Amino acid sequence: MCADLKDFDAIPYHYNRAENRIGYKIMDCIDYDIVFGYKTAFAYLSEASNQRLRDEEAALKEALRLRVPCGQFSYANLGQTSILGVSGTVEALGRHEWEIMNRYGIRQYSFMPSVYGASNFRFLNQSDGRPITISQAADYFHDIASDINSKILGGRAVIVFFKDAAELAKFESSPSSRHIRTVNLLQESMSDDSKDFVIKKAATAG
């Protein structure tokens, strides 16, 4: 507890006044359910001392509580009568992995075909693979759009990463982007619901 008091703000936190909660940035979202030991409690006390909590009593009642660690246990060592599991990599296990499986008494396996069908993955030097393209600056966005459209015509989903929001905005405003049939943007500034929608559509062709 004393160690957490010393550096409670070492992990930057965000206070949401509307929610009256403190959260931490995880990836590109603010997670209000995560707690870092007593650091989070001291963060609430710091906000309270500066009179920044919208509802101080409610926030502190929720945040100020003792944390009693009860131990950590490996599920594999609990001695279950039956161990059931699903994995997509059983056929690719090496000898060492098989030995570990046998050590825990997992000796019966059923292999089923994938619900996703055959893999469409291609290395760059394989048929339908495309080598890395080096473009002139003037043709950069045009080449990106052309590659996107060629993949869409082949019935494939396409995900394009830009180095930052400014580069994405340049591509959006370029004439080349207008020839792409459907575009879903995923940006840090979007709401969580909007991000979830775009992510769920990411594997859809077109």
* The pLDDT of residue 42: 95
Answer whether residue 69 is part of any domain. no
Q: What range defines the domain where residue 175 resides?
A: 137-201
Answer whether residue 190 is part of any domain. yes
* The pLDDT of residue 160: 92
46 and 85 assigned to the same domain: no
* Token reading at 80: 């279950």
13 and 59 assigned to the same domain: yes
102 and 81 assigned to the same domain: yes
CA–CA separation, 38 vs 49, rounded Å? 17
Answer whether residue 197 is part of any domain. yes
- H-only helix segments in the chain: 2-6, 39-49, 56-63, 95-103, 140-153, 165-173, 192-201
Cβ 52 vs Cβ 15: under 8 Å: yes
Predicted TM-score (pTM) of this structure: 0.46
CA–CA separation, 178 vs 161, rounded Å? 18
Q: Render pLDDT for 73-88 as a digit per residue (tens, 0 to 9).
A: 777 676 667 666 777 7
pLDDT per residue, tens digit, the chain (206 aa), is 888 888 898 999 999 999 999 999 888 788 899 999 899 999 999 999 999 999 999 999 999 988 887 877 777 676 667 666 777 778 788 899 889 888 888 888 888 777 777 776 777 666 666 667 778 888 999 999 998 888 888 888 888 999 998 999 999 999 999 888 888 898 888 888 888 888 888 877 65
Pairing state between β 29-31 and 13-16:
unpaired
7 and 43 assigned to the same domain: yes
Answer whether residue 117 is part of any domain. no
Task: Look at the chain and report how many structural domains it folds into.
Answer: 3
Cβ 116 vs Cβ 137: under 8 Å: no
Answer whether residue 155 is part of any domain. yes
Answer whether residue 127 is part of any domain. no
Cβ 56 vs Cβ 47: under 8 Å: no
